[in-house]
Chain A
Amino acid sequence: MALTIASREVDGVTVLDLSGRITLGEGSVQLRDAIRDLISKGQKKILLNLGEVNYIDSSGLGELVSAYTTAKNQGASLKLLKLTKKVHDLLQLTKLYTVFDISDDEASAIASFR
């Protein structure tokens, strides 16, 4: 299943609802393009909802990290919402869990951008 990305605004935060797989050739490029597009338009608050992401490979992890650093370098904040067990375990394994601001609850995540 390819990656689908839906965008919505909540209290000035762009929430990207991702669904499917973030892998090399199946979504990592889509994610990269979506983030770069937002940042080029001046969006400073980005929340990636990964609640429906059932698979991520090392390339996908790399894209998450690249998205984070791109945002940070441009003065924007990128945070993660609702990790599935697979994604959670991979972020733990690769120590990337310590890099990102991660929340299980959307309202709390939105509030954290203030």
Chain B
Amino acid sequence: MESVSEIEKAAERMAEEAGLNEDERFHVSMAVREAAVNAVLHGNQYDPERKIAVVFENTGKALVFTIADQGNGFVPEEVPDPLSPENLLRGTGRGIFLIRQLMDEVHFRQLNPGTELRLVKHLAPDRKPK
């Protein structure tokens, strides 16, 4: 989990350098953290032999965070809706929902093996980077 914390901090730094406000920085760092946790825990099944690959990019128009695992893949559409009454009191299952709520775009790609998640936060045109 140390690597997850490092990834989270790096995402927050990048968001700050891009000039995002406090709420936006929190949304970005939280979404990236959730994606990294999913990659380690669910994708790689916490196997220390498996790696995750992380790429951060500021395109000038958006912050793009790509996180890939080496797991068996999954179908995002099959993740249960955590807001439905039968799932609301579950102890797990909110990670992907939160990622979708906190970022502007979320894209899944099956790598076979592994899954790649690409998270995008759009930058306002007149935003001034630090």
Please report the number of residue pairs spanning A and B whose Cβ atoms sit closer than 8 angstroms: 50
Cβ of B121 under 8 Å from chain A: no
Of A6-14, A33-41, A59-67, the segment with at least 4 beta carbons within 8 Å of chain B is: A59-67
Instruction: Say which size band chain B's interface belongs to.
Output: 20 to 34
- Which residue of the partner chain, among A25, A62, A99, contacts B94 with CB atoms under 8 Å? A62
**Given A24-B1, A61-B94, A90-B98, does the pair A95, B83 have CB atoms closer than 8 Å?**
yes
Q: Is A69 part of the contact surface with B, judged by Cβ < 8 Å?
A: yes
Q: Given the known A-B contacts A24-B1, A25-B4, are A58 and B34 also in contact in the complex, defined by CB atoms under 8 Å?
A: yes
Cβ of A88 under 8 Å from chain B = no
B88 adjacent to chain A (CB < 8 Å): yes
B97 contacts chain A at the CB level, 8 A cutoff = yes
Those of B5-46 within 8 Å (CB) of chain A: 5, 26, 30, 33-34, 37, 41
A58 surroundings in chain B (CB, below 8 A):
34, 37, 92, 94-95, 98
In the assembled complex, 8 residue pairs joining A and B whose CB atoms fall closer than 8 Å, in A order, are A25-B4, A57-B37, A58-B95, A58-B98, A59-B37, A66-B91, A93-B98, A95-B88
Residues of chain B having any CB pair with chain A under 8 Å? 1, 4-5, 26, 30, 33-34, 37, 41, 82-83, 88-95, 97-98, 101
Residues of chain A touching chain B, judged by Cβ–Cβ distance below 8 Å, are 23-26, 55, 57-59, 61-63, 65-66, 68-69, 86, 90, 93-96, 99
